[in-house]
Amino acid sequence: MPADLFAIPVQPLLGDAPTTLAPWRGQVVLIVNVASGCGMTPQYAGLERLHREYGPRGFAVLGFPCNQFGGQEPGSAEEIQTFCTSTYDVTFPMFAKVDVNGSDAHPLWVHLKAERPGLLGTEAIKWNFTKFLVGRGGVVRQRYGPQVEPAAIAADIAALL
């Protein structure tokens, strides 16, 4: 696992060319595992508000669809993109569907969980919309459970900007 979060390979939601998170180096980012059919899916609206409000100051939300929790993200990349843009007017970057737990967990999520374990030191992601706040230097500063609404994170984001 690369020590540099921004060097970990990722795949954009649409498009064939793998990339990294290097374009966001030096910014504050909120990395979230998202799903279109979850009871917490309305958090897309709050995530988009954060992205628009703080984006000009060097902040971005990065969304990673995940189908590991109740099969709540079964769609294709095109279906996910259409849902996000037509339902929540999502403009923040979205990446290819990933596993966040288990032997096939994406290296980014392995890194995030190791850097900021959850309650009682457990690393497993419990559900969709788990959020990791990463500071400008690539250090994972905070982990938020799925029930934490995006608006509740705004002060933490502002403090890092």
* SS3 sequence of 119-160: HHHCCCCCCCCCEEEECCCCCEEEEECCCCCHHHHHHHHHHH
Q: What is the pLDDT of residues 59-106, one digit of tens each?
A: 999 999 999 998 899 899 999 999 999 999 999 999 999 999 999 999
How confident is the model at residue 2, as a pLDDT? 46
- Mean pLDDT computed over 145-155: 96
Which conformational region is residue 20 in: left (phi greater than 0), alpha (psi within -120 to 50 degrees), or beta? beta
Distance (Å, rounded) from C-alpha 63 to C-alpha 12? 10
How confident is the model at residue 120, as a pLDDT? 60
Q: In the chain, what percentage of residues exceed pLDDT 90?
A: 79
How confident is the model at residue 1, as a pLDDT? 42
Out of 35, 38, 40, 98, pick the active-site residue.
Answer: 38
Q: What's the one-letter identity of residue 9?
A: P
Distance (Å, rounded) from C-alpha 47 to C-alpha 75? 20
CA atoms in the 13 A half-sphere facing the CB of 97: 17
- Mean pLDDT computed over 36-52: 94
Give the residue among 4, 120, 19 at the shortest CA–CA distance from 62: 19
Number of H helices, E strands in the chain: 4, 4
The answer to whether 38 is a known catalytic residue is yes
Whether the model clears a pTM of 0.75, i.e. scores above it, the answer is yes
pLDDT, mean over the chain: 92
6-18+27-160 CATH fold = Glutaredoxin (3.40.30)
How confident is the model at residue 124, as a pLDDT? 82
How confident is the model at residue 99, as a pLDDT? 95
How confident is the model at residue 16, as a pLDDT? 77
Q: What is the pLDDT of residues 110-128, one digit of tens each?
A: 999 988 766 666 778 889 9
How confident is the model at residue 121, as a pLDDT? 62
How confident is the model at residue 119, as a pLDDT? 63
Strand, coil or helix: what is 76? coil
Domains in the chain: boundaries: 6-18+27-160
pLDDT greater than 50 at residue 45: yes
